[in-house]
Structure 1
């Protein structure tokens, strides 16, 4: 599926019990069915699930492309003394919605322009403001003393 128009694997996590679980730590591994090598792994911390509720956890694919085929997602979660393990099998057709964006990239595409004069410009403006404030204070003090 997609999350915010980015390709992702989504898993729904539910809590059918009347207990609230907090500080959940979960690990996942996505692999092709029949292989043990994980294509994508991940780790989430600090999650919580309210009683009788569910939420969808999204695993962004980023620059990885999944080929059409059968996959399995192994999910392990732990909260205090409780732990759960679930393996989900699913089929991926190889097609994503047309509005899917390009992978999330953490690096900027172009380097930010380097402007060595910027610190000097900021310093000059700060000094000018300081002189204006000092001059205004000095003039008002002098003017007040001479008008008395």
Structure 2
């Protein structure tokens, strides 16, 4: 959901040639599958493209390929440590942030997984706002 929402916002801001993104999970149980039907339904409701999205697992190369890795919750942050390469000579390692860190006014700091909770609308709303703020952050930080 977060990748589709953020991609939509980046495209709207005409920054898709400057910002690339890809989503990946820390678990391997949904590899190759499209987003959950509830996620697709909420994205369709807001006319956000999700065609072609398929689950994949984080890999060590992601820490070199990307500047930022955005986690949904503290468990993801912890699990990402097992994927991160310890040291790659001459390469910059991605910094890890939680998505809701970009929405400091939120009491909840972890995005709940709607796969388990069924609260797709609530998750959509928190992800949308946090992605907007992430985009503002990136525009400022990266001079876009």
Task: Please give the TM-score of this superposition, normalised by the length of structure 2.
Answer: 0.23
Question: Rg larger in 1 or in 2?
Answer: 1
Decide which structure has greater strand share.
1
Decide which structure has greater helix share.
2
